[in-house]
Structure 1
Amino acid sequence: MSAASFISMAGIVAFSQNGYAGSVYLMGWTGGYVLLAMLLAPYLRKFGKYTVPDFVGDRYNETARLVAVVCALVVSFVYVAGQMAGVGVVFQRFLGVDRTWGVVIGMTIVFFYAVLGGMKGITWTQVAQYSVLIVAYIIPAVAISLQLAGNPLPQIGFGQILGELDGLQRDLGIEAYTEAFTQTSMLNMILITAALMFGTAGLPHVIVRFYTARSVRAARYSALWALFFISLLYTTAPAVGAFSKFNVLNTIPGTAVDSTPTWFNSWRDVGLIEVNDLNGNGIIDVAGGLGPGTELIINNDIVVLATPEIAGLPAPIVGLVAAGGLAAALSTASGLLLVISSSVANDIYWKRINPRATDKQQLTVGRIAMAAAILVAGYLGINPPGFVAEVVALAFGLAAASFFPILFLGIFWKKATAWGAAAGMSVGIVFTLGYQLWTLPAFLGNEPIWDIPATGVGTIGMILNLLTIFIVSQFTPAPSELMQKVVEDVRYPGRSELVLAHAEGHLDEYAQEHHLGDPSGEDRRDGH
């Protein structure tokens, strides 16, 4: 659960769009874990490789691995920028510093425990941080649900409050909260939801978690439990968004500009709420809606953090929510930095530059890479191209366009070739990243083609990736017969001596013992 889920999702559902349009984040990120649990996690665990580039290098070849490393670095840097931006928002409000110093403080914290902890340390750190963030998320939601709807279950209180919120928005001259397709088309709803779903299933730092499970069976249960714990937050988020918007619209519109509540002034003082008295009457008017160009602009990333204050809850709960926001951002940032450092140390330094490197040398290179990555992530966090959830959604689109097709076809189509995989990833990542840079206001800021947003173009990139793999695989050398047999065996439940030999690095010996021929193929020059 990242900063996008904890800090930003409820806000982007409630304020930047109406609730219906914002539901793409809820459906996409939850549905992605279903895809991961059903289509990828157990098979990748059985295959026995510990990172996405490792899987790609072994299933395809070293050229494909190098392309996968580049894709992993691009996805991870975009994703970690969103996390550092979230850290900056928390510290900006609760330490009273500006965004730059807030991000610098977060960078320092992440550096120490990510560099010193490693895979196992980060895994257990994330367990502790999830415990904090889910408690911090649910307690205010329960309290506000009781306060507004008289029901302690936010998911039920949410349903009761929707009708009132729709009526309140209409009375204020704003479109109804639940009205469909007012701010986005049906096509874009499908494209964004799909990009988030397939991107979730292809995220390198999520997939690597399943290798900490002890067995294939444990990986399946891990995915099931992950979905349960994720659903606790994702079914609560729309309730938090609706409750916050209801409270804001009940108290702020019609208030004098110089008579706003204390919580409002606290966030306004640090620049995360803006008031523009456009008509000069001294009153906050929201008839034109909320957001840029209107009289009231509320940063989406403050909604969850400000919810306890808006509802008048005690100070300890306000502090607990701030701790939850930090836990979400820092835990995900550490996992992403681990992907970056392992890609540089293992897949670039050891595989390409110094094959004789010792474990100590690889560890040193990994730590240097992590330190450099933190500096880059810090810069992107200080200058983010959008709200936390928007930045993270871009990373999901890149993951969908680059990784999901080669993982899915690598398991379920034994004749997918190395050159097909390398070409597919290249086409998907270049097209998607290029379109994002072309349309985002923080970069070139051009008008979207056919009104397709940067957050939804990953679906088109994924389709292009799939088509490229299929076409190129028809004209390039097929994987070795032995690798095709490994792929077949991976898909079937139960113990496979062939897959076990592959996972333990004894494929050559197994092939000779069972007279299965040379495991090397024309497209497998690493000789594994």
Structure 2
Amino acid sequence: MIGIIAAFIIYFGVMIYIGFFYMKSTKTANDYILGNRSLDRRVAALSAEASDMSGWLLLGLPGLAYVSGLSEAGWTAIGLAIGTYLNWRFIAKRLRVYTEKANDSITICEFFKNRFGDKKAYTSAISSVFIIIFFVVYTAAQFVAGGKLFNSIFGLDYFTGMIICVVIIVAYTLTGGFRAVCLTDTIQGMLMFFALLIVPLIALGMLFSDGAATIATINPDMLSLFKDPGTGEFISVFLVVSGLAWGFGYFGQPHIIPRFMGIQNPEEIPQARRIAMVWVIVTLASAIFIGLLGNIFFSTPLDVPETVFVQMTTSTLFSFIAGIVYCGILGAIMSTASSQMLVASSAISQDLYKTFFNKNASETLLLVISRITVIIVAALAVTISLDPNSSVFGIVSVAWAGFGATFGSVLLLGLFWRKATWQGALAGIVFGGVVVIGWYLIHPIIFGGYLYEMVPGVIASMLAIYLVSLKTTPDKEVTDLFDAYVAEIGDRST
């Protein structure tokens, strides 16, 4: 274990050092929340994807593929790849330009308020509430993954491992803010890429050396996008729709889209998009392959399917190299949790406290409140993640749907529809969030299948925005701002 522990100590040391390094230059809330819009295209690309995928990519998705094959994991991955491309292609530059023109908005809630001319900031307030609700849940999923990781590697008690993970994440998020989070995300993204490539290749080589015939023993239905490997029957159309619906979630993720807002030069977004797409396609494919390979690599079924990647790493690599791969898994967890806590802190300090309680709050006070909020969100998430039997994939799916339905519809129509009003946006946020939560709690079965809560949530949100906007009228300054943004985007088309 000495080599593994050495790798972890080096990794933790680098992460914390980055946080304290950027602490010196983090003097305002803008620095802390958006890094003063100074991100390099490579950092923006890798940071966005690393904060997106989380421990779900290295634990949840391989575990899903290990249990259900391609029939569920495959459609989810396809939806995510499509969503990633559409987000970078049609949202990134528009959001970067529009947020700067809309009174230099530095949070997504502030952008909603400025874009729709919501003078009383109702959209900002309600958005902040949903951010806190869903991000506490989402952050909890990362803590669950961290607890499982430390338990699998070191045999530590689940709770002890989780607390170690929480302390490290809070340390560098608390000190360095947005730039520290983005740089650590970039390092973690490269580690994740390395880990997802090397482990399955070595495992496959070991299988071939033992006899290629073992590969033929896999259930052929595990490799089918259309058949349930358990029953051999064709899957429900709802499962396909639900998997693809994950792609829509990208449009509303408050921990991903700030990377678009923070990129230094909007003209670099096409290059960033290409980097992001290569990373996403390779890592998603590798994660699923690991899950499928696990069915023949392990002669005895795993008690905890979501640890298939960890167990495969233990069986294929040695000492320090295995430690680096484990750090890649931990990096996936930490990159997302830190981004989520940062966004939640901005929602409270900027969109609630400054807007409604102290409009003249100093930058120093807002910075302090942001950091205190990080600790509060972490504490709330820990209470949710106390159960070691919680599913990382299940928790993430609820939060992902919540943000997709709550913010995705509003952001899309806000960027592309001139007549959208603040009343319509508010209705969309409320209906999207409530329907997702209600659908999840009721868990209705339709025609023998379950439909992912993202789908009804998005439909409800879109209809609410459209119908309410038809009955209301946007102010002239709102449409003038929209026209100015469209004109600038036209000059910068990609």
Q: TM-score range by the shorter chain?
A: 0.7 to 0.9
Find the aligned partners of 2:388 and 2:248 in 1 and give their Cα distance. 24
One-letter amino acid of the counterpart of residue 184, structure 2: T
Q: Give yes or no for contact 1:8–1:389 (8 Å, CA) kept in 2.
A: yes
> Residue in 2 aligned with 1:465?
461
- Of 77, 82, 101, which residue of structure 1 is paired with 2:160? 101
SS in 1 for 2:226: coil
- Of 267, 276, 280, which residue of structure 2 is paired with 1:226? 276
- Alpha-carbon offset, residue 487 of structure 1: 2.0
SS in 1 for 2:360: coil
> Residue in 1 aligned with 2:13?
none
Q: Give yes or no for contact 2:189–2:331 (8 Å, CA) kept in 1.
A: yes
- Alpha-carbon offset, residue 167 of structure 1: 4.3
Q: Does 1:55 align with 2:111?
A: yes
- Alpha-carbon offset, residue 83 of structure 1: 0.8
- Alpha-carbon offset, residue 496 of structure 1: 7.0
SS in 1 for 2:256: helix
Find the aligned partners of 2:447 and 2:139 in 1 and give their Cα distance. 29
Against the structure 1 CA distance between its residues 317 and 167, is the aligned structure 2 distance closer, same or farther, given a 3 Å change threshold? same
One-letter amino acid of the counterpart of residue 190, structure 1: V
Find the aligned partners of 1:385 and 1:420 in 2 and give their Cα distance. 40
- Alpha-carbon offset, residue 238 of structure 1: 2.0
- Of 418, 427, 431, which residue of structure 2 is paired with 1:427? 431
Find the aligned partners of 1:467 and 1:181 in 2 and give their Cα distance. 33
Q: Give yes or no for contact 1:166–1:177 (8 Å, CA) kept in 2.
A: no
One-letter amino acid of the counterpart of residue 204, structure 1: P
> Residue in 2 aligned with 1:374?
378
> Residue in 2 aligned with 1:242?
292
> Residue in 1 aligned with 2:256?
206
- Alpha-carbon offset, residue 127 of structure 1: 1.0
SS in 2 for 1:83: helix
SS in 2 for 1:382: coil
* RMSD, aligned α-carbons: 2.5
The structure having more radius of gyration, on CA atoms, is 1
Against the structure 1 CA distance between its residues 19 and 495, is the aligned structure 2 distance closer, same or farther, given a 3 Å change threshold? closer
Q: Which consecutive residues of structure 1, in runs of 5 or more, have no partner in the other structure?
A: 151-160, 253-295, 440-446, 498-528
One-letter amino acid of the counterpart of residue 194, structure 2: V
Against the structure 1 CA distance between its residues 166 and 407, is the aligned structure 2 distance closer, same or farther, given a 3 Å change threshold? farther
Find the aligned partners of 2:359 and 2:265 in 1 and give their Cα distance. 29
TM-score under structure 1 normalisation?
A: 0.76
- Alpha-carbon offset, residue 129 of structure 1: 1.4
User: Share of identical aligned residues, percent?
Assistant: 23
Find the aligned partners of 1:433 and 1:10 in 2 and give their Cα distance. 26
SS in 1 for 2:471: coil
- Of 331, 334, 342, which residue of structure 2 is paired with 1:327? 331
> Residue in 2 aligned with 1:6?
58
Q: Give yes or no for contact 2:71–2:222 (8 Å, CA) kept in 1.
A: no
Cα displacement string for residues 195-247 of structure 1 (whole angstroms, at most 9, x for unaligned residues): 31111221000001112211221234323322222222112122212221121
Cα displacement string for residues 238-264 of structure 1 (whole angstroms, at most 9, x for unaligned residues): 22122211212xx23xxxxxxxxxxxx
Against the structure 1 CA distance between its residues 452 and 46, is the aligned structure 2 distance closer, same or farther, given a 3 Å change threshold? farther
Find the aligned partners of 1:76 and 1:112 in 2 and give their Cα distance. 18
- Alpha-carbon offset, residue 58 of structure 1: 0.7
Q: Give yes or no for contact 2:55–2:145 (8 Å, CA) kept in 1.
A: yes
Q: Give yes or no for contact 1:3–1:86 (8 Å, CA) kept in 2.
A: yes
- Alpha-carbon offset, residue 385 of structure 1: 7.8
Q: Give yes or no for contact 1:83–1:330 (8 Å, CA) kept in 2.
A: yes
Find the aligned partners of 1:206 and 1:343 in 2 and give their Cα distance. 15
SS in 2 for 1:327: helix
> Residue in 1 aligned with 2:310?
305
> Residue in 1 aligned with 2:41?
none
Structure with the larger RCO, 1 or 2 (CA within 8 Å, 6+ apart): 2
Q: Give yes or no for contact 2:138–2:395 (8 Å, CA) kept in 1.
A: yes
- Of 212, 223, 226, which residue of structure 2 is paired with 1:180? 226
- Of 391, 396, 408, which residue of structure 2 is paired with 1:387? 391
> Residue in 2 aligned with 1:524?
none
- Alpha-carbon offset, residue 177 of structure 1: 4.3
> Residue in 2 aligned with 1:284?
none
Find the aligned partners of 1:224 and 1:484 in 2 and give their Cα distance. 33
> Residue in 2 aligned with 1:256?
none
TM-score under structure 2 normalisation?
A: 0.81
Q: Which consecutive residues of structure 2, in runs of 5 or more, have no partner in the other structure?
A: 1-49
> Residue in 1 aligned with 2:479?
484
Against the structure 1 CA distance between its residues 391 and 148, is the aligned structure 2 distance closer, same or farther, given a 3 Å change threshold? same
Against the structure 1 CA distance between its residues 448 and 376, is the aligned structure 2 distance closer, same or farther, given a 3 Å change threshold? farther
Q: Does 1:133 align with 2:159?
A: no
Against the structure 1 CA distance between its residues 186 and 33, is the aligned structure 2 distance closer, same or farther, given a 3 Å change threshold? same
SS in 2 for 1:319: helix
Q: Give yes or no for contact 1:432–1:458 (8 Å, CA) kept in 2.
A: yes
Q: Give yes or no for contact 1:136–1:317 (8 Å, CA) kept in 2.
A: no
Q: Give yes or no for contact 1:428–1:464 (8 Å, CA) kept in 2.
A: yes
Find the aligned partners of 1:179 and 1:195 in 2 and give their Cα distance. 16
- Of 418, 421, 446, which residue of structure 1 is paired with 2:422? 418
- Alpha-carbon offset, residue 492 of structure 1: 4.8
Q: Does 1:343 align with 2:347?
A: yes
- Alpha-carbon offset, residue 449 of structure 1: 5.0
SS in 1 for 2:155: coil
Q: Give yes or no for contact 1:300–1:387 (8 Å, CA) kept in 2.
A: no
Find the aligned partners of 1:194 and 1:139 in 2 and give their Cα distance. 28
Find the aligned partners of 1:397 and 1:378 in 2 and give their Cα distance. 21
Find the aligned partners of 1:479 and 1:496 in 2 and give their Cα distance. 25
Find the aligned partners of 1:195 and 1:353 in 2 and give their Cα distance. 38
- Alpha-carbon offset, residue 335 of structure 1: 0.3
SS in 1 for 2:255: helix
